Structure 1
């Protein structure tokens, strides 16, 4: 990836994070978002794990056929990265790569605890800040990220339809 392509991708992900903010987020929202995300994954026959957390509490978790316990471990590592940096795990990794560095070597964080690979996205409530994570693991990192973004976009569209 060229520096210009990397900068454009970073800008796109930053724009997604600004755009995909929720007016509120409760347990029912976690269920709605989670089932929506599982439905999208099923439609693609994606062997993924879906996980949603708020303030450290797991509100939704589902493992589709073909996923494994390794995906659960990836979910935790990616979600911890979101919690620490306040942005998507994909964006963290992209920012390190854009500087010619790797997260694993240069973050000084334990690679068994944190992962800057795409798939975990902050649940940002307007006027509050980041309150949790929605995460997917099982596909290549850009695809994990894309699936989460698609679900958040549809979730927000549904909310607008009911207003």
Structure 2
């Protein structure tokens, strides 16, 4: 997970990348025939994308996953696997945090600037969906900058 967090970082980030992320999530869901999910992207303390795939209603888990990532500066799945450690152990019974997968830090030039969050599947599947979509977005972003 640490390797993913180190590799899946942006050199620059604009709202268009958030939209590309939602589209990549849609593509992966269609390809793998997954259940509908809720998607949120927070950048510089502003929710710039709040999206539900067809068939998904709201999800309170998104807010909790966002809080977890912002507070820990790691993916929410990282906190799940380190949940016995302080301060994560104190978050288990909190309504503010989600000690489960589906939240991922949005780093720009090695600075935490926001969060990508997905909710609706098993929490480890949420994480995998999120990482797969981020890889697609970053791959496309690198293709654009290489011309």
Shared fold, TM over 0.5: yes
- Indicate the residue corresponding to 2:129 in structure 1: 147
Q: Where in structure 1 are there 5+ consecutive unaligned residues? A: 1-12
Q: 33-42 or 13-22: which moved more? A: 33-42
CA distance in 2, matches of 1:67, 1:159: 28
What is aligned with 1:45?
Answer: 34
SS in 1 for 2:82: helix
Q: Aligned partners of 2:106, 2:10: CA distance in 1, in Å? A: 7
C-alpha distance in 2, partners of 1:33/1:110?
A: 31
Secondary structure of residue in 2 paired with 1:96: coil
Match of 2:66 in 1: 79
- Output aligned runs, 1:6-17, within 5 Å: 13-17=1-5
Q: Give distance in 2, aligned partners of 1:90 and 1:108.
A: 13
Listed as ranges, the gaps of 5+ residues in structure 2 are none
Mapped partners of 1:117, 1:108: distance in 2:
11
Q: CA deviation at 1:110?
A: 5.8
Counterpart residue number, 1:94: 81
Q: Measure the CA separation in 1 of the matches of 2:94 and 2:57.
A: 19
TM (norm. structure 2) is: 0.88
CA contact (8 A) 1:74 1:137 kept: yes
When residues 84 and 158 of structure 1 are mapped into structure 2, their CA distance, relative to the original with a 3 A threshold, is same
- Which entry has the higher C-alpha Rg, 1 or 2? 1
Structure 1 residue 19, shift from structure 2 partner: 0.7
Q: Deviations over 1:89-140 (max 9, x none)?
A: 110111125x6x9x5xx3257621111110010011124x111111110111
Q: TM-score of the superposition, structure 1-length normalised?
A: 0.80
Residue-by-residue CA offset, 1:32-83 (whole Å, 9 max, x unaligned):
22222222223333221111110221111221234233xx200100110001
* Aligned pairs, number: 144
More helix by share: 1
Distance 2:75 2:126 in 1: 11
Matched, 1:63 2:52: yes
